[in-house]
Structure 1
Amino acid sequence: MCRVVELKQSVLARNDGCALALRTELAARGTVVVNLLSSPGSGKTELLERELTLARERGVPVAALTADLATEHDAARLARSGVPVKQVLTDGLCHLEAQMLHGHLDGWLPAETRLLFVENVGNLVCPASYDLGETLRVVLGSVTEGEDKPLKYPTAYGLANLVVVTKTDLAAAVGFDEAAFRANVARVNPGVEVVLTSARQGAGVGTLLGRALAALEGGPVHRPVMARPAPHGHEGEGGDQATEHGHAHAHGDQHDHEHGQQHERGHGHGPQEHLGRHDHPAASVR
């Protein structure tokens, strides 16, 4: 078990160094990264498509990179906005890492891009531990997920610079308790802004773009008080996370072997190696 823990810590330390370098590189060219995290089915792709479309209509130079385990469906949807979009297939890996992102941006990201929206893999566990060099980390949760998600996933919500509630048009139908949700968010991330949206009805659309533009212009960004957790957020997190992340964290010797093997295979490479394994030029849509 010690070997696995040490490996995870080494992976995160290497990721932090790459994230810092990527943040510095993008800042020098005037680009801000917005990292979007959520559970599967939260509606972030639909909301992001609306935000990208609005950005194009307003003449804001934006691009989007979306990550998925197996399909290119999200890139096809986002491409309808008319902005540069790239799909990253992670081959089963449950999150993006900074050096992976760097490899996929190299030679693709248009020089004039000012906002880069990164739609992370649908997962509230692994992505929470990995800095992508973002300026703005946004966690999205739909009203259909319930009010207790911030407490079940305190790392994801606790490290957010902005929290977005989606599908508010369904709030009454599912009995969503907004006050309870806001109180739970405040418990894990005091002072973070909570924005209500409905992509289908247009409510709140443009708020995410506005916050991203404010960050681009050097405006204040909420700073969470929570420190980043142990690798993959295992310490202090409960709820249904073990179920969501069970593919990589089954208990016993099989866990040690599979998880260590996954990180050694999928995390220890430089940008060019990742580019060779994961880049899909045909999926890059403009």
Structure 2
Amino acid sequence: MCRVVDLRQAVLAKNDACAVELREHLAARGTAEVNLLSSPGSGKTALLELLLARAVAGGVTVAAVTADLATENDARRLARAGAPVQQVLTDGLCHLEAGMLRERLDGWLPRDTRVLFVENVGNLVCPASYDLGESLRIVLGSVTEGEDKPLKYPTAFGLAHLVVITKTDIAEAVEFDAAAFHRNVRQVNPGVPVLETSARTGAGVDELLALILGVADGAPVHRPVLARQHERYLHHHHGDEDGHTHDGGEDGHSHEHPAAAPIPVPGAADAT
């Protein structure tokens, strides 16, 4: 008699187990991991480079891992900030997984690292489903992407501990409706903090770094409603957003993505 196995659950279960171990490992050494998610071209790398530079200038021990399908361009760029940086090449995979991250960190992450930044693959669908053992998940949306991004990608924005708007220095030029964006974020993730930034002018960057360092020091983070609604990590169904199939394309792979798993928030209360 054949045994039916839900491969989607099996994939997430393996990742979640590794994420739990990684979270415990990082906590034991006093390192907070920050997972950065966004679409390609949102300004994530530019903002991270500035965060690293300001942290280094302030004497804060930070490190970064950046993931891409190909090239080490972002790692070389981030290294200019003076912090230790590693590149993960996913070889066509559209997301980073906890096991891939743990393998890259083994034997490399400096012992005294206070904050580890992880720049995920540029994608608001696939990476949303994978817990990387982070203490803080930040989802970025640029003013050039439009106000409806949170509604189009409710899993990514719905599981964020913090939402960051980027490129606000050109908001007026692209007629970005900030009020509408905030409204749409609240619809998918009530109570989540939203911070406006510009890597070009530096607006909001010090405030963002202060928030991140606060989490590293044990400050509670926003607990997403999506995470509170489920006691299990794994879902038994697909949403329209995540239940898609790739046939090659830019990623060069073909698979279905499992539904997103809620992220455990270490030490966080249910307050928003």
TM-score, normalising length: structure 2? 0.86
Q: CA deviation at 1:201?
A: 1.0
CA distance in 1, matches of 2:4, 2:73: 34
Instruction: Name the residue aligned to 2:255.
Output: 259
User: Are the equivalent residues in 2 in contact too, given 1:69–1:91 (CA < 8 A)?
Assistant: yes
Instruction: Name the residue aligned to 2:73.
Output: 73
User: Are the equivalent residues in 2 in contact too, given 1:197–1:203 (CA < 8 A)?
Assistant: yes
CA distance in 2, matches of 1:157, 1:108: 31
Instruction: Name the residue aligned to 1:163.
Output: 163
Moved over 3 A (4+): 227-231, 245-249
TM-score, normalising length: structure 1? 0.81
Equivalences for residues 117-266 of structure 1 within 5 A: 117-227=117-227, 234-237=238-241, 246-247=246-247, 258-259=254-255
User: Are the equivalent residues in 1 in contact too, given 2:247–2:255 (CA < 8 A)?
Assistant: no
SS in 1 for 2:86: strand
Counterpart amino acid of 1:153?
A: Y
Q: Which runs of 5+ in 2 are unaligned?
A: 259-272
User: 1:216-264, CA deviations, whole angstroms, 9 ceiling, x for partnerless residues?
Assistant: 1111200001047867x941438xx96xx74469xxxxx9xx427x99x
User: 1:83-112, CA deviations, whole angstroms, 9 ceiling, x for partnerless residues?
Assistant: 000011110100011111100000010001
Q: CA deviation at 1:4?
A: 10
Work out the percentage of aligned pairs sharing the same amino acid. 68
CA distance in 2, matches of 1:190, 1:40: 25
Instruction: Name the residue aligned to 2:267.
Output: none
Quote the RMSD (CA, aligned, Å). Answer: 2.5
CA distance in 2, matches of 1:91, 1:104: 14
Q: CA deviation at 1:5?
A: 7.9
User: Are the equivalent residues in 2 in contact too, given 1:248–1:259 (CA < 8 A)?
Assistant: no
User: Are the equivalent residues in 1 in contact too, given 2:13–2:234 (CA < 8 A)?
Assistant: no
User: Are the equivalent residues in 2 in contact too, given 1:45–1:78 (CA < 8 A)?
Assistant: yes
CA distance in 1, matches of 2:28, 2:125: 31
Structure with more relative contact order (C-alpha pairs < 8 Å, separation 6 or more): 1
Instruction: Name the residue aligned to 1:34.
Output: 34
Counterpart amino acid of 2:255?
A: H
SS in 2 for 1:176: coil
Which has a greater percent of helix?
A: 1
Instruction: Name the residue aligned to 1:105.
Output: 105
Equivalences for residues 38-117 of structure 1 within 5 A: 38-117=38-117
Instruction: Name the residue aligned to 1:269.
Output: none
SS in 2 for 1:81: coil
Between stretches 115-124 and 3-12, larger displacement belongs to 3-12
CA distance in 2, matches of 1:246, 1:43: 25
Counterpart amino acid of 2:79?
A: A
User: 1:99-137, CA deviations, whole angstroms, 9 ceiling, x for partnerless residues?
Assistant: 111000000100010100000000000100100000000
CA distance in 2, matches of 1:7, 1:104: 25
